[in-house]
């Protein structure tokens, strides 16, 4: 991590966790413009999720419009997971649209920071980052939302909860994880193959309500990502580290922290229930 920060400073890159742009118009018009902008830079939308309506149906009124555009896997994502499977915590990329009335925020993650943290930035991964930024640039002036703090390299926290399931087939572990997620009340999208990694995208409406009312830009990591891949005779299985979201502005000291702690406990329990043993790269 220290080497990464030094590299970014030398390269003159501004540290940002999210890229956002303000767009005026109806929700449908903004969504249409965003889809067109993504296609114009060579990124293919796979599906659009109406998260706002889903959350309101479960938790009641008071949650804003919130759409999630999930992109199809492409060369940058494939290269990223080939270099480091933990890159699956933000793949396939998600672009969020949130707001109300005639004012909406469109955003996604900044790969310069997140892919840099994972040690995969460069090549097709860098070009993916450029394309995401270029798509937002077609909608207006892009702003970089810097993290409120950088992760402490001495804390030992990794971007992902990472487990190894001994003597297991990844496809079997995927089915087990999906069953456990459903049993814990999380909604599931069909899983997606990104190279050798299977990405599972669940969402829990109560968690989404607390997180996105606190920090709407957290949508770059939604729906939550679990992933699995074969690693020799074992299966590597993991999920995004929820506490990673505490580096975002406004999250620390908010009710979202307790929610993220709860999410971490549930997610870790699921990974352990399917036979996972905590794993660190290099073991």
Per-residue pLDDT tens over the stretch 171-189: 999 999 999 999 999 999 9
pLDDT-derived band at 151 (thresholds 50, 70, 90) equals: low
Q: Is the separation of the CB atoms in 217 and 68 below 8 Å?
A: no
The answer, yes or no, to whether residue 48 has pLDDT greater than 90, is yes
103-115: pLDDT as tens digits: 999 999 999 988 9
Which has more pLDDT, 148 or 128? 128
The answer, yes or no, to whether residue 4 has pLDDT greater than 80, is no
Mean pLDDT of all residues belonging to the chain = 91
pLDDT-derived band at 79 (thresholds 50, 70, 90) equals: very high
205-256: pLDDT as tens digits: 999 999 999 999 999 899 999 999 999 999 999 999 999 899 889 999 999 9
For every residue of the chain, which 3-state class applies, written as one string?
CHHHHHHHHHHCCCCCCEEEEEEECCHHHHHHHHHHHHHHCCCCEEEEEEHHHHHHHHHCCCCCEEEEEEECCCHHHHHHHHHCHHHHHHCCCEEEEEEECCEEEEEEECHHHHHHHCCCCCHHHHHHHHHHHHHHHCCCCCEEECCCCCCCHHHCCCCEEEEEECCCCHHHHHHHHHHHHHHCCCEECCCEEECCEEEECEECHHHHHHHHHHCHHHHHHCCCCEEEEEECCEEEEEEECHHHHHHCCCCCCCCHHHHHHHHHHHHHHHHHHCCCEECCCCC
Please tell me the predicted confidence (pLDDT) of residue 117: 87
Please tell me the predicted confidence (pLDDT) of residue 158: 83
Alpha-carbon span 60 to 141, nearest angstrom: 34
pLDDT-derived band at 146 (thresholds 50, 70, 90) equals: confident
Report, as an integer, the average pLDDT of 116-133: 95
Report, as an integer, the average pLDDT of 138-158: 79
Alpha-carbon span 239 to 272, nearest angstrom: 12
Report, as an integer, the average pLDDT of 189-204: 95
The answer, yes or no, to whether residue 71 has pLDDT greater than 70, is yes
% residues pLDDT > 70 (the chain): 92
Burial-class residue 194 by CB neighbours within 10 Å (0-12, 13-18, 19+): buried
The answer, yes or no, to whether residue 16 has pLDDT greater than 90, is no
Please tell me the predicted confidence (pLDDT) of residue 5: 38
Which pTM does this prediction carry?
A: 0.90
């Amino acid at each position: 991590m220290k080497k990464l920060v030094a590299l970014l400073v030398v390269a003159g890159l501004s540290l940002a966790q999210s890229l956002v742009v303000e767009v005026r118009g109806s929700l449908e018009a903004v969504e249409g413009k965003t889809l067109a902008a993504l296609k114009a830079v060579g990124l293919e939308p796979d599906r659009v999720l109406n998260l706002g309506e889903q959350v309101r149906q479960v938790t009641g009124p008071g949650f804003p419009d919130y759409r999630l555009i999930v992109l199809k896997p492409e060369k940058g994502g494939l290269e990223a997971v080939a270099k480091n499977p933990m890159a699956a915590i933000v793949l396939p990329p998600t672009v969020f649209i949130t707001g109300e009335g005639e004012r909406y925020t469109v955003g996604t993650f900044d790969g310069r920071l997140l892919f840099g943290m994972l040690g995969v930035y460069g090549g097709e991964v860098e070009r993916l980052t450029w394309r995401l930024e270029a798509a937002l640039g077609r909608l207006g002036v892009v702003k970089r939302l810097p993290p409120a703090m950088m992760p402490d390299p001495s804390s030992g926290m990794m971007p992902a909860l990472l487990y190894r399931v001994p003597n297991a087939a990844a496809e079997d572990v995927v089915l087990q994880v999906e069953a456990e997620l459903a049993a814990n009340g999380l909604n599931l999208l069909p899983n997606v193959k990104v190279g050798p990694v299977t990405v599972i995208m669940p969402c829990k409406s109560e968690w989404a309500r607390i997180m996105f009312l606190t920090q709407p830009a957290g949508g770059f990591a939604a729906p939550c990502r679990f992933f699995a891949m074969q690693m020799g005779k074992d299966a590597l299985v993991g999920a995004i580290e929820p506490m990673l979201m505490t580096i975002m502005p406004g999250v620390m000291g908010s009710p979202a922290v307790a929610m993220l702690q709860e999410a971490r406990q549930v997610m870790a329990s699921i990974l352990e229930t399917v036979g996972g043993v905590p794993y660190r790269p290099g073991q």
